[in-house]
Amino acid sequence: MIETLIIQFMTDPYDETLHFSQSWQQQLAEAFNKIEDLCDYLELSPDDLPISIAAIESFPLRVPLSFAASMEKGNPHDPLLRQVLPVKEEMGIYPGFSVDPVGDIQAAAQTGVLHKYQGRVLFINTGSCAINCRYCFRRNFPYSDLQLTKQKETAAIQYIQEDSSIAEVILSGGDPLLLNDARLTHLIQQLSAIKHLKRIRIHSRLPVVLPARITGELINTLVSSLVQIVVVIHCNHANEINERVMDACRSLKSNGIIVFNQSVLLKGVNDNVAVLCELSEKLFTQGIIPYYLHLLDKASGTGHFDVTETEALMLIKQVKDTLPGYLVPKLVKEQAGAASKQYIL
């Protein structure tokens, strides 16, 4: 049986049945990191795409097969492909774009702790992601300078413990669900022991791009928390929601975990009323609440995704005219130094 699987994999490196039967760690290890391999899988020629080697060197390519499998083969304009394709436009200079667009570095209260808003802090546990989204606002973040050693993690926990105004900790990154179960369990247990903490919010792209991560062990870790766990997934287009993603989200929901979604408004991906409406409808069908629609954070290398605030307002007003209010995400932007996210509509 093992020999048969080995032969099958050697003859078809993109065998999806075999790939999706593997653990999430194995699937992550086999993510596309070469543009030629991704193009080969999608039946595209690199010569027909505006690919930039300099962009790849600046911000490496990383795409799990579970996400690539939802792309339309042979379509160079696929909205999911656009989110991960390193293109020449990334190397352009765009006025107002910077390496720290939302003031993360200035908000670092401790190594790994960003304290921007009253009552809540971001806890950055890892700089790693399962996928490198080209519009990422932390693509230039100095994770290596803020690496959490055991001693620094203890200091970060102590900072949260000593500030009784902190009611919520947001696990961020990178992607916090890339922590292994043992480390994530230990972290949640430490946070749960803080008496004034009411919620732990986990922001993760993994339920969408690597749904195999939502294992029974992970669910047990989340439901055993002494404080409420909220999961915020990140999905930008309805095509990202395949059967594996639906199963992962159902596992979270069926175990009493509240799931929200936040999206980023991206030119050439979802800057379209019909696309935004379809996304909200598909999310809600799975019991996921459309939460935020972010304007692009103006990080260097992302200017080609920018949708103006005027255009965004027109879009969201049309969405409001089409959908019931509970399906309309809040249009927001993040502004460095502001006391909270800025509501646009």
Average pLDDT by stretches of 10, the chain with 345 residues: 49 81 97 98 96 95 98 98 97 89 74 88 89 88 64 89 97 92 95 97 98 98 96 98 97 97 98 98 97 94 96 98 98 85 86
The confidence score (pLDDT) of residue 143 equals 56
What are the percentages of helix, strand and coil residues in the chain, rounded to 5?
Answer: 40, 15, 40
The confidence score (pLDDT) of residue 7 equals 46
143: left (phi over 0), alpha (psi -120 to 50) or beta: alpha
The confidence score (pLDDT) of residue 142 equals 63
Indicate the burial class of 37 (C-beta count within 10 angstroms; 0-12, 13-18, 19 or more): middle
Our CA dihedral for 49, 53, 55, 58, rounded to 10 degrees, sits at: 160
Domain locations in the chain as residue ranges = 2-91
Taking residue 74's Cβ as centre, other Cβ atoms within 10 Å add up to 9
Which is it for strands 258-264 and 113-117: parallel, antiparallel or unpaired?
A: unpaired
